[in-house]
Amino acid sequence: MAGFYSARGRTIPPLPWPVFAPPLSVCAAGFALIYRAVYSPFGRVLKAIKGNDARATSLGYNTDAFKLLAFTLSAGLAGTAGSLKALVFQLASLTDLFYMTSGNVLLMVLIGGIGTIWGPIVGATIFVSAEQYLAHTGSWVLILQGIVFIFCVLAFRKGVVGTYLEWRGNRRARSSYAVRRDFGRVEVPKKEGKPS
């Protein structure tokens, strides 16, 4: 396979699928696990605990056990992601333990949208794409990334995906209100006057 041309005219070699197929399948399985957990009774209990811990306890849920299970699940997924990164790059450097790595992950989640399934994926795509496209600016990368982050926070208060979902919900609500308004209208027949 010959590869394809980038925007700058350089040839980009094709992806080595034997290297990327296993991490992609593990990522898809992890995403399916998260999706299933969020929309299961377990996820509903976690949302209740997030909303009001004392109320969830009064309903009879062992909140400490649910928190421990959620922490264990997230730690397992994070460890799996780190091991896949080390396998793909064949390197585990000390920069992976640097505090900016955690900060970058938080920025990805904030840009994409907290509390959404697709938000971290969209945020990571935007963050890594910006990092790649701004790499030619040298030491200005962090400053330009900060400007992009500030723009995303000011323009999209709930993240990119959260703002889109809110816009779509408002649009559906307006359209369903218009349909209800049109179908709810009752035509009152006009009374004809008595002939004289």
What are all long-range contacts of 24-29, with beta carbons under 8 Å and residues at least 24 apart? 26/80, 26/84, 27/81, 27/84
- Distance in angstroms (rounded) separating the CA atoms of residues 68 and 160: 30
pLDDT > 70: what percent of the chain?
82
Domain segments of the chain as ranges: 15-92, 93-186
Alpha-helical runs (H) found in the chain? 17-38, 41-51, 53-58, 63-89, 99-112, 119-133, 141-155, 159-184
**Amino acid letter, 76:** G
Q: What's the pLDDT at 19? A: 76
**DSSP string of 154-189?**
HH-TTHHHHHHHHHHHHHHHHHHHHHHHHHH--PPP
Span 162-188, pLDDT tens digits: 899 988 888 887 776 655 555 555 455
Lowest mean per-residue pLDDT among 42-56, 59-73, 123-137 = 123-137
- Distance in angstroms (rounded) separating the CA atoms of residues 126 and 115: 18
Residues 56 and 49 sit within 8 Å (Cβ to Cβ):
yes
Three-point CA angle 13, 94, 136, nearest 5°: 45
How many other C-beta atoms are found inside a 10 Å radius of the C-beta of residue 187? 5
Alpha-carbon distances, residue 104 vs 79, 99, 101, 128, 134 (angstroms): 17, 9, 5, 10, 16
Return mean pLDDT, the chain.
82
Please determine, for residue 131, whether its predicted confidence score (pLDDT) is greater than 60. Answer: yes
Single pTM value for the model: 0.71
Span 59-114, pLDDT tens digits: 999 999 999 999 999 999 989 988 888 888 888 888 888 888 888 888 889 889 88
